[in-house]
Every structure is written in C-alpha cells, then in structure tokens.
Amino acid sequence: MALRLGILGSGKGSNCRAILERIRDGSLDAEARIVVSDFGDAPILEIAREFGVPHAHVAPGNFRTILEPAAEQELVRTLQRADVELVVLAGFMRVLKAPMLQAFPQRIINIHPSLLPKFPGLAAWKQALAAGEKVTGCTVHYVDAGIDSGMILGQREVPIMPNDTPETLHARIQIAERELYPEVIGCLAV
C-alpha cells in the first residue's frame, strides 16, 4: 500500500515536484494526499494543481518563523482529514511546535542543505562557504523540537568548488536534494 504523504512548502516547490514526478513515474510507492502552503500564492500550490493533488493554504498568522497556535492546529486538522501518514517538509519555512510534533511523532521529515549536524539553520550553504569547507551537501532528517536536530535518515555529499559562489553551490545542493528526498521517502515506504 502506498505511503500517504502530506507535503508542506512555502516557496517554489522544486522538491515537491521531484517527489510528485517519482510518484507519477512509478519509482516511488507513495501517494500525495495534500500539498499545504503558508503562502496562498506559493508556486508549490500551482505544482499541486498541475499534478492533480489536493492543496490548501493555512494562514500562518503574525509570526515570521512559526505558525500561530490556531494556525498550527488547523494544519494538524487539515493533514489528519487527508489521512496523511508522513509529513514531508519541502521548503516549509516555519518551525513546527508541539501540536504538529505530537500529532505526527517521528512522522515528519525535512531536507536541509548541509551535512548535518554541521550548519543547521538558515543559509547553510553560505555557512559552509564561509567556514572554508571542501564538501557540503544535504540531509534528510526527522523533525523534532530542535532546529535541524532530528535523527538523520540520509545524506548526499556535494563538493565545494574553488570558484563557487553561494548561488552556484546552492544550485548544486538543490540538484542533490531532488535526488535524495524521493529516495529516502521510498525507503520509509517499505
């Protein structure tokens, strides 16, 4: 039976698209039950429409980095109504709190643009460049109450080239993300 996914995103949706393409071509045994964004005009919602996946907007409230408690409760209800087994954060730029973590324990995953535990938080590729690293990459991990601190499920290395800019490095990390994320989800679907 296909793993039932709820995909959350705030932006362009490139990881969402990679997951939905793998589902469509049969290489990922999963079903996207819903795509949810905290921005009503986010391109990820257009991707959901393109693939025929139900989608929703949850108004985040007045905070920039978290959902207001009522909004997070609405998100939980939305995902539960869609009968989601695994919550996939695909560029969702809000820190999830107790309502989500309690409703979906060890069933929320995230992809982060570094080889955790190095460089948690925002703009990790810039942190890696500033630190003079030779290799960085991306990590899929369970979401817990910390910032990018949950159990690691998979990683992909990306070399840092001598002439890399933050933009060129980030673009290569995003390519690795689009390969790694569906692979890890596939392992969880078994």
Q: What is the pLDDT of residue 130?
A: 96
Give residue-wise pLDDT tens across range 157-175: 999 999 999 999 999 999 9
Question: Catalytic residue at 57?
Answer: no
Domains of the chain: which residue ranges?
3-188
pLDDT at 189: 86
Please give the average per-residue pLDDT across 52-70, as a whole number: 93
pLDDT at 190: 74
13-46 per-position pLDDT tens digit: 999 999 999 999 999 999 999 999 999 999 999 9
| Short-list 148, 149, 150, 156, CA closest to 178 | 156
Task: Choose, from 55, 112, 141, 170, the residue flagged as catalytic.
Answer: 112
* 124/190 Cα distance (integer angstroms): 31
Can you give the pTM of this predicted structure?
Answer: 0.96
Q: Which of 40, 41, 29, 37 has the alpha carbon at shortest distance from 4?
A: 29
| CATH value of 3-188 in 3.40.50.170, 3.40.190.10, 3.90.1170.50, 3.20.20.70 | 3.40.50.170
- Tell me which of 53-57, 64-68, 153-157, 176-180 is least confident: 64-68
